[in-house]
Chain A
Amino acid sequence: MSNRILPLELIDKAIGSPIWILMRGQTEITGILRGFDDYVNLVLDDAVEFSPDPRDKSVILKKELKAEILLNGNHVAVLVPGSKGPDDSLASKA
């Protein structure tokens, strides 16, 4: 029996609630977490992608994917459970 909460258990607890994924690079995705596996491949509902405009990197484009998506865990860097994304109040720029 573990003494502490393992990282993957924490993701498990976020199932059904919003989650904010920071990918390697600058792309970020938010959505409702439906499920995941050991590789941290993720299934997200109502996913919204935030990625920098290729022409002007300081502009962030918001793309609503409007579907259930399977996100490959290969490029996942950080998961923020309970957050609705970069516009969330907690994530306001300091």
Chain B
Amino acid sequence: MKNYILGLLLLANSTAYLNAQVPIPVKAQEKSIMLVGGTAHIGDGTVIANSAIGFEKGKLTFVGSATLFSNDNNKYTVLDVKGKHVYPGLILPNSQLGLVEVSSFKATDDMSETGTFNPNVRSQIAYNTDSENIATMRFNGILLTETTPTGGIISGLSSVMELEGWNWEDATHSVDIAMHMNWPAKNTRSFDFATFTVKESPNKNYDKEVGEIAKILADATAYMAVSDKKMNLKLDKMQGLLDGSTILMLHASDAKEIIEGVNLLKENGVQKIVVVAGADALYVSEFLKDNDIAVVLPPVHSLPSRDDEDIDLPYRLPYLLTEAGITVGLSHDGMLANARNLPFYAGTASAYGMTKEDALKTVTSNTAKILGIDDRVGSLEVGKDATLFVSEGDALDIRTNILTHAFISGKGVKLDNKQQELYHRFSNKYGHTIDK
């Protein structure tokens, strides 16, 4: 009885319902939609002013000038987005979104499995569509994420997930696309309580750990050569590295670690390598270019790693590496909730050298290329997923990143979430008038 009344109350007030759960997932796209009159930022560097962007059944069907669009048979439901900006959905790579809720609480943390080599561990099935973080990312234009396990030397396999869906099956975009490897640090850091400083000393286990990496790769190669074999879950999942169907994401922060890592991986038959690294990538940019290796960068808003570094080096890094001919994608680490600032990382990158459209690439088409999903997402092109959003203004600038619509594979997803609900609730309590 009590439950029944509660149910009624909830129905009567949909925002109260919203408070109890994450926003309701929506159905697959039914109506074809045409966004007309907006400035379209294609994601490949080009811009179409007064654009028309159409999609049906989850795929983009029209990308062009509004002057070229005629709505024959009223096929499309037209949304007037004049004065607004249209962007491809932003992609958040190398993220633990969906794997952790409150990082200080172990019970809510599914980011890493125990053990050093976990090539068989898969993040896809742990991606929690009920995570409250997800809708707050969407609110700022992040519509896809590479949900990524952490820890050990081989952390496991990441998958690309859409930020929408009833469950992980719904949300899955691309399965097991990359294996993440944390290259052993050449130097270990220790903390000195007396001076509150961090000191570096050589990692005594470096050679041993590198040897273990070489060994598991060699074992995987040997395993692949045998046709009649007993199942080995770890080696089995490593096949993808050797045949090129799985990307190896090499996390290495030191310039020499990058070189040693890439060389060892290539020598052992790894086909596709992406480096996750910071400023040290600059020292070896020629090496990365020669080996056609893209870089996933830590937050643009990071602090320089050394006192002597240019104070704006993390801000300028996307520009400097791009100038050096390297494909760059931006990512976030640290407090997960802050990943929603990804568009502003691109904005800052633009303040420090890049054009706005180039900066946009670092959170859209470049990232899609890096993750090997550029055939489907990353830019507004006919045939690609209708994963895009509309912003009142420049989405890379904080003041004007105000989304009016977001579509994931054509589904018009809900933007408001718990945070907006609480905003409204308490504004009401105080009798504040708010526009939105």
Q: Do A and B bind each other?
A: no
List residues of B whose CB falls within 8 A of some A CB. none
